[in-house]
Structure 1
């Protein structure tokens, strides 16, 4: 699996060479990036992917994906699994370039990765967000996550997956 498709997005599983370009912020011929891609969150997520790939080999499908907007073919962010699943659960992280925020792209990408997790027999996906990041909290909720805990600075969210015919689906509102 190298690509996932949603109505408005393509999620492309990055390989080591592409990940290194993203971390270096140097597009190669054929890369089509939004002007503000990659942003700091992309670099952090891809750096973690590179560490995991170096230590354990290609983690796909539980790796990192570049989010590309189908309308213009531009890379606008990243989403990925923070490690391999354990006990039927995996953590996820995501981020969009500032110019792509506010259009529902993150919830759409999250829903696609929930399907990957369910298709691989997982029953739970978790994510964290800062308490003051209301946009991320709304995004997680739209994608089917519910708050499940908190510490001093962050909320923990989870999506419980139904591995039968029914999948988690985003809130249409």
Structure 2
């Protein structure tokens, strides 16, 4: 939860409904939600649940504006932390809601959540030309750690910090 946003943890059934384009009974979807990225992320969560079990609390979340309750995007983890405690994140905000700082605000909250749940580091990536996403991850406190022929790679790491 942030000042302007609520991160609604999705159940596997809610994620499956999102993939199918069916809103949950309590869900209000902003125009353009869910987009292809939201469906992909929810689908990844559903597949993870089916193959290795529900990774919650490292699951999928809907980004909802507190002022009107509308879902404006999605974010979540690609699964439970690995053996070193690292998780990978992904996120998406509908075009109509972009440019308002929602993605950075939601990502900061998700990073805080991951740390509170015991993750030692969080990684994310974005296509080379996705400068908006580069700015989001940087604004949320992640640092650029590498670039390859397709992606910019970002990381926040708490293993060297004192508790």
TM tier, smaller: over 0.9
Structure 2 equivalent of residue 20 of structure 1:
16
1:26 CA drift (Å): 1.9
Following TM superposition, by how much is the alpha carbon of 1:28 offset from its aligned partner in structure 2, in angstroms?
4.1
1:136 maps to what in 2? Answer: 133
Rate the CA distance shift 1:30–1:118 in 2: closer, same or farther, 3 A.
closer
Residue 147 in structure 1 maps to residue 144 in structure 2: yes
1:27 deviates by 2.1
Higher mean alpha-carbon deviation, 33-42 vs 18-27, is at: 18-27
- Is 2:51 the counterpart of 1:58? no
Query: 1:34-65 CA distances to partner (integer Å, 9 max, x unpaired)?
Result: 02100000000000000001122221111100
Compute the RMSD of aligned alpha carbons: 1.2
Partner secondary structure for residue 23 of structure 2: coil
Matches of 2:121 and 2:23, distance apart in 1: 35
Change (3 A) 1:129 1:163: farther
Unaligned 5+ runs, structure 2: none
Partner residue in 2 for 1:33: 29
Number of residue pairs matched by the alignment = 160
> Does the 8 A contact of 2:62 with 2:71 survive in 1?
yes
Structure 1 unpaired stretches of 5+: 165-173
User: TM-score, length-normalised on structure 2?
Assistant: 0.93
**From 60, 64, 67, the counterpart of 1:68:** 64
Which deviations, in whole Å up to 9, do the C-alpha atoms of 1:74-95 show, x marking residues without a partner?
0011010111111121111000
Task: Give how far 1:119 is off.
Answer: 1.2
Please say if residues 56 and 80 of structure 2, whose CA atoms lie closer than 8 Å, have aligned partners that are also in contact.
Answer: no
